[in-house]
A = this chain, B = another copy of it.
Amino acid sequence: AVAPVWARECPARAFEREEGLGYFSASDGTHSKGRTNPRKRESPVLPSTAADVFRYSVTPKTLKFSLDSMGADKRRVRCIQWAIVFVILFFVGFIIGWFAKPMPVQYEKPSPSYLHEFLDEMHAENIREHLRKFTRLPHLAGTLQNLRLAEQIQKEWLAFGLDSAELVWYDVLLSYPNGTKPNYISIVDQHGEEFFKSLLAEPVPEGYEDLTDIVPPYSAFSAQGKPEGDLVYVNYGRTEDFFKLDREMGINCTGKIVIARYGKIFRGNKVKNAMLAGAKGIVLYSDPADYSAVGVEPYPAGWNLPGGGAQRGNVLNLNGAGDPLTPGYPAKEYTYRFSPEEGLGLPKIPVHPIGYNDAARLLKNMGGTASPPDWKGALNVSYNIGPGFSDEFKQNKVRMTIHTYNQVTRIYNVIGKIRGAQEPDRYVILGGHRDAWVFGGIDPISGAAVVHEIAQASGKLMQRGWRPRRTLIFASWDAEEFGLLGSTEWAEDNAKILQDRAVAYINADSAIEGMYTLRVDCTPSLQTLVYDVTKQVGSPEVGEEGMSLYDSWHKRDNWTDNRDAPRINKLGSGSDFEAYFIRLGIASARARYTKNRKDTYSNYPVYHSVYETYEIVEHFYDPTFQRLLAVARVRGGLIFHLADAPILPLNCLEYAHALIQYAHGILKIAQKHPEAMQRYTVSFDALFSAVNNFTNAANDFHQRLKKVDTTDLLAVRMVNDQLMYLERAFIDPLGLPDRPFYR
């Protein structure tokens, strides 16, 4: 008898139909007229329906007999009792029905508490151990030792609990000194006798004397040869330096051997400039003005570069091309290769690096023009420019003896993955290189140790049931030192899916290069996240217990002219993020501990020398490993949020703000040349109009983003796609003129 009652009125059915239609037309965020909000609907439909059911349920004939047989009072009491029972029964049924209803596939929001568990899983002592373990031996790209290290990392990542860890190889062009014919610079007398020769190797630090695999300082990819001639001092070897030589001083470098001090620009550009100036060889050296901090002792007593130390490094002009023989394509067995002579960006002249002791000897008796003051370094020499030695030594010449050779060699990346729980097709990449010139105490193992600890912390979290919403990729790149080869080849190998799916790339090269504060370079859209993360991390500095890294950083490096916040830099080039950020347009960031911006020395003094040991970190850069821990937490916090946040933590308003700054920056430069502006009728209107359009669109989107229904999986995916592809929108597939991979 009751059945027909609810069957006749069945509100649920009506609701289903309406709801269905409502949803059907409601699926896009803009056409929201047709949308029915289930929560609003709930109250008008439910209570009245429930009341209807209740009213009918006390009067059906089947109940009459019990009611008729009682007195009025008793009846009233019983009626109320029964009513209560009925109401309770109804609600029991209602609630069970409510929860019993199967829901379409839905995802739990990640618990924010996992972030702190994640950060707490990282430990300074672990990082110390990783660094110690990974820096015992040299790990030059292409050597067996570096393959063994790759295998070790692979094994440990799997042990940590990553879903997979693979070695991915490429056959790329590398460059090594000849094992039996050493490279050196000499001074020869009029008979061609070498009466001075530069050091063939750096004095090896204590504890490493028995190692046989320390590669001597060399310029990778140098041309072979024995050029001999007069020396010209070209300061830093910049375009403006060669201009000055040519236009102001009237010094022609054609046929000369030039000597340039390291610093200011990438060494490959010094070589290119020397070639363009006609030099037949270039010597690179580390001047104490650029590679010694004031008041600091040379290693091992301090962290300055000793006089016998020299900076290794490649001298290519790749501009992001990766392997010189397979630009644009992965260096696999099936790939067409240029012949070695056709290789992209290879210098045509011999190049060699020396320390400042040897440089002092070469520069000591220089003749010719005197240097302008700002060309003078800190050696006790005249810094005369030459060409050649002063009159009394005029007969002496400088000779370069270079036997370095190029060879196609197999390199190995380690690629570890944690598959995303909800969006396995969205990738967050944490990548840094593993290959080192020698021990890599700072570059790159301080960074690799940090990556290792982040991988371990991820594994531990997974054991407790955590799995990131998106896929996490850990990469240990090979052959970064030879032109970002491992990272670039892998990007070329996976360009299509990375372009479609990569949310962000976090670079993990050296984690420390100074003792002052944090340094972050990133795309503008990641700035907000960087600030958020650093507020969750503690300062590693003594005396700042309880202070956040953000505050510690803010105190030391305020972004004064832009805003009252810690300074964040634009991403440049020169590390493994190039292929990801500059070529593919994936939002990228890097973070490390750095020196004070006011310090005038380049990099850190022992950069790319044999003195980059575990001990230099332990004794000087980070004795408690708290700084490396802080960097680990920043890098880890970034990938955690990027991989786990339902809405991608990319801020388009920051991007708009940065574009405005950039546009004004360019305008400011242009305005220094008013005649040229007028002659070429240069207008900035279109640029500012575009920036304005972008800003308006970013504002609109940001507003819409706040209103996104986070239970609407498709709506979330759609806005996330927009956020993900924001960085891609700045990529021009045609690249810069003559630099097709700088897009």
Query: Which residues does A use to contact B, with CB under 8 Å?
Result: 2-3, 5-6, 11-13, 15-16, 19-21, 23-31, 38-39, 41-42, 45-46, 49-50, 53, 57, 62-63, 65-66, 78, 81, 84-86, 88-108, 328, 333-334, 419-425, 465, 467, 495-496, 500, 686, 689-690, 709, 711-715, 717-718, 721-722, 725, 728-729, 733-734, 740
Bound state CA distance, A261 and B65, in angstroms? 104
Bound state CA distance, A711 and B104, in angstroms? 6
**Inter-chain contact A108/B23, CB cutoff 8 Å:** yes
25 pairs from A and B in contact (CB 8 Å cutoff): A2-B85, A2-B92, A24-B108, A25-B467, A26-B105, A39-B102, A49-B96, A50-B96, A89-B89, A90-B92, A90-B93, A93-B97, A94-B94, A94-B97, A104-B106, A105-B712, A105-B714, A422-B714, A425-B722, A496-B728, A500-B725, A500-B728, A714-B717, A733-B733, A734-B740
By a CB distance below 8 angstroms, the chain B residues around A30 are: 419, 424
**Shortest Cβ distance from A28 into chain B, in angstroms?**
4
**Inter-chain contact B98/A101, CB cutoff 8 Å:** yes
Bound state CA distance, A697 and B468, in angstroms? 26
A30-B424, A53-B92, A94-B93 known; A103-B104 Cβ under 8 A? yes
Which of B21, B93, B419, B714 makes the CB contact (< 8 A) with A93?
Answer: B93
Bound state CA distance, A286 and B80, in angstroms? 99
Bound state CA distance, A89 and B107, in angstroms? 33
By a CB distance below 8 angstroms, the chain B residues around A98 are: 12, 97-98, 100-101
By a CB distance below 8 angstroms, the chain B residues around A25 are: 421, 465, 467
If A425-B721, A425-B722 are given as contacts, then 15 extra A-B residue pairs at C-beta distance below 8 Å, sorted by A number, are A2-B88, A2-B92, A13-B99, A21-B108, A28-B421, A62-B81, A90-B90, A90-B93, A94-B94, A103-B104, A104-B712, A104-B713, A495-B733, A714-B714, A734-B740
**Inter-chain contact A46/B103, CB cutoff 8 Å:** no
By a CB distance below 8 angstroms, the chain B residues around A425 are: 718, 721-722
**Inter-chain contact B715/A105, CB cutoff 8 Å:** yes
A81-B62, A89-B93 known; A99-B27 Cβ under 8 A? no
By a CB distance below 8 angstroms, the chain B residues around A495 are: 733
Among A5, A86, A108, the one with the most B-chain Cβ atoms within 10 Å of its Cβ is: A108
By a CB distance below 8 angstroms, the chain B residues around A49 are: 96, 100
By a CB distance below 8 angstroms, the chain B residues around A46 are: 96, 100
**Shortest Cβ distance from A353 into chain B, in angstroms?**
34
A11-B99, A97-B95, A421-B27 known; A89-B686 Cβ under 8 A? no
By a CB distance below 8 angstroms, the chain B residues around A19 are: 102-103
The 10 A-B residue pairs with the shortest CB-CB distance in the complex, in nearest-first order: A93-B93, A12-B99, A97-B97, A38-B102, A334-B686, A94-B97, A27-B422, A97-B98, A90-B93, A93-B94
**Shortest Cβ distance from A110 into chain B, in angstroms?**
9
Bound state CA distance, A689 and B332, in angstroms? 13
Q: For residue A584, which residue of chain B has the nearest CB? A: B733
By a CB distance below 8 angstroms, the chain B residues around A5 are: 92
Which of B15, B57, B65, B465 makes the CB contact (< 8 A) with A89?
Answer: B57
**Shortest Cβ distance from A329 into chain B, in angstroms?**
9
By a CB distance below 8 angstroms, the chain B residues around A27 are: 105, 107, 421-423
**Inter-chain contact A496/B729, CB cutoff 8 Å:** yes
By a CB distance below 8 angstroms, the chain B residues around A6 are: 92, 95-96
By a CB distance below 8 angstroms, the chain B residues around A65 are: 78
Bound state CA distance, A63 and B90, in angstroms? 16
By a CB distance below 8 angstroms, the chain B residues around A89 are: 2, 57, 86, 89-90, 93
Q: For residue A690, which residue of chain B has the nearest CB? A: B334
Q: For residue A46, which residue of chain B has the nearest CB? A: B100
By a CB distance below 8 angstroms, the chain B residues around A102 are: 19, 38-39, 41-42
Which of B88, B94, B106 makes the CB contact (< 8 A) with A23?
Answer: B106
Which of B66, B328, B333, B424 makes the CB contact (< 8 A) with A78?
Answer: B66
**Inter-chain contact B467/A107, CB cutoff 8 Å:** no
Among A12, A85, A420, A424, the one with the most B-chain Cβ atoms within 10 Å of its Cβ is: A85
A93-B97, A729-B496 known; A85-B62 Cβ under 8 A? yes
Q: For residue A19, which residue of chain B has the nearest CB? A: B103
Bound state CA distance, A78 and B66, in angstroms? 9
**Inter-chain contact B421/A31, CB cutoff 8 Å:** yes
By a CB distance below 8 angstroms, the chain B residues around A39 are: 102
**Shortest Cβ distance from A688 into chain B, in angstroms?**
11
**Shortest Cβ distance from A55 into chain B, in angstroms?**
12
Bound state CA distance, A3 and B718, in angstroms? 44
By a CB distance below 8 angstroms, the chain B residues around A467 are: 25
**Inter-chain contact B24/A421, CB cutoff 8 Å:** yes
**Inter-chain contact A96/B423, CB cutoff 8 Å:** no
Bound state CA distance, A690 and B330, in angstroms? 14
Bound state CA distance, A519 and B99, in angstroms? 55
By a CB distance below 8 angstroms, the chain B residues around A90 are: 89-90, 92-93
Bound state CA distance, A410 and B424, in angstroms? 46
**Inter-chain contact A12/B334, CB cutoff 8 Å:** no
By a CB distance below 8 angstroms, the chain B residues around A53 are: 92-93, 96
By a CB distance below 8 angstroms, the chain B residues around A419 are: 28, 30-31
Bound state CA distance, A717 and B27, in angstroms? 14
By a CB distance below 8 angstroms, the chain B residues around A20 are: 108
Among A15, A31, A88, A709, the one with the most B-chain Cβ atoms within 10 Å of its Cβ is: A88
Q: For residue A101, which residue of chain B has the nearest CB? A: B98
**Inter-chain contact B92/A725, CB cutoff 8 Å:** no
**Shortest Cβ distance from A700 into chain B, in angstroms?**
15
By a CB distance below 8 angstroms, the chain B residues around A99 are: 11-13, 15-16, 97, 101
